[in-house]
Structure 1
């Protein structure tokens, strides 16, 4: 049950990342939310396998920090990649004349 809670909280934090990280017009509406939820859930499961207990505080802190950080990293990477791809396409189109 805790995995469900941490995943939902991770999704909400991932959605908040969308409005914090610049360049939200270069990726989809739910990308950061889904990435945040997936990264938070994966971190939670990995920490459980490493011996953390579900009622301990560190598993919550680490999961709810790492998930949004991954979502922010993906959002930043997508923004940079899209800007570079758009600039390259513009250069190719202008140079084709």
Structure 2
């Protein structure tokens, strides 16, 4: 049950990162929240395999902080890469149309 809650927390951090950071028009609506969800769940399971108890505050802090960080990094990197790729493709298409 706790895995469901931590996954939901990761999705919420992913949504927050999607709408708080720039270039959100460059990628899909569900991409960053899905990354946050996956990271939170994987970190949670890894921490439980390492022996951390689910009622410890540290496991929650580590899993949700990892989800928030991964969501923010993914949103920034994906948005920047897609914007650069779109500009490059536009330049190529514009050069081809002018020739």
TM-score, length basis structure 1:
0.93
8 Å Cα contact 2:40-2:66 kept in structure 1? yes
Cα deviation, 1:36-59, whole Å, max 9, x if unaligned, reads 111100110111112211111110
Partner of 2:64: 64
8 Å Cα contact 2:23-2:83 kept in structure 1? no
TM-score, length basis structure 2:
0.91
Q: Secondary structure at the match of 1:74?
A: helix
What residue ranges of structure 2 are gaps of 5+ in the alignment? none
Aligned runs of 1:1-97 on 2, under 5 Å?
A: 1-96=1-96, 97=98
Q: CA deviation at 1:30?
A: 1.3
